[in-house]
Chain A
Amino acid sequence: GNSVTQMEGPVTLSEEAFLTINCTYTATGYPSLFWYVQYPGEGLQLLLKATKADDKGSNKGFEATYRKETTSFHLEKGSVQVSDSAVYFCATDNDYKLSFGAGTTVTVRA
């Protein structure tokens, strides 16, 4: 089935720094790709998604582009804030369910 692999954390950076979290996928066909975010003490919520090659998902200053040639969907933000501290999950659809990556914990220091 389809799966994703994302870079392991934890990642610690200073406010206004650039953030990249790598995610690559393995799939048959053309799966949808997602980034979910989990803030401390909360459930996951969708951050952005892309459903076909070259699509760019964006939300709250985060972006990710569906790249078929490199089978990647890397998450980027140009200038992080303390409020971006969270766990980020890459995911892909896989037979009526989502397959999640292991999650990357991001801590942003003031």
Chain B
Amino acid sequence: DTAVSQTPKYLVTQMGNDKSIKCEQNLGHDTMYWYKQDSKKFLKIMFSYNNKELIINETVPNRFSPKSPDKAHLNLHINSLELGDSAVYFCASSSPGLAGVDEQFFGPGTRLTVL
């Protein structure tokens, strides 16, 4: 009965490979997000989808491509992995509040290590 789930939890791969991270939420939320957290715990938003449509696309290399097959899923595909992509990636979901963004629910994170 996990609210926001991500797979895999750990991902270790070589430079140049292509990998995907999957996210699913069972909260009935309309909006989903991908964040990147670096080694200093700084959290940076990457993408956001609302009802399968991209609404936020921060300055992220185009090697990163999100895909939302339905509003409960938001996957992240990364091409040609680089050392600097090593981080923890968090998926989150929310429903809009009465005034702006309301509480976001986060997944447990995927720790990506690029060797």
Taking beta carbons and an 8 Å cutoff, which residues of A are in contact with B?
30-32, 34, 38, 42-46, 49, 51, 87, 89, 93-94, 96-98, 100, 102-103, 105
Whether the pair B101, A105 counts as a contact (CB closer than 8 A) is: no
* Interface membership of B109, Cβ < 8 A: yes
Contact check, A103 vs B41: say whether CB atoms are below 8 A apart.
yes
A93, B106: Cβ atoms under 8 Å? Answer: no
Tally A-B pairs: CB < 8 A.
Answer: 59
Q: Do A105 and B41 have beta carbons less than 8 Å apart?
A: yes
When distances are taken between beta carbons in the complex, the residues of chain A under 8 Å from B92 are 43-44
B113 within 8 A of A: no
Report if B103 contacts A (CB, 8 A).
yes
Interface flags, B91-104, vs A, CB<8A=1, else 0: 01000010111111
Q: Is B100 touching A43 in the complex (CB atoms < 8 A)?
A: no
Q: Which residue of B lies closest to A32 (CB)?
A: B100
Residue of A nearest to B50 (CB): A96
Is B108 touching A31 in the complex (CB atoms < 8 A)?
no
Residues of A within 8 A of B48 (CB): 96-97
B6 to chain A: closest residue by CB: A43
Whole-angstrom distance between the alpha carbons of A55 and B108 in the complex? 30
Considering the chains assembled together, what is the distance between the CA atoms of A66 and B48 in angstroms?
Answer: 27
Among B45, B100, B107, the residue within 8 A (CB) of A31 is B100
A98 touches B104 (CB 8 A): yes
- Closest-by-CB residue of A relative to B33 is A97
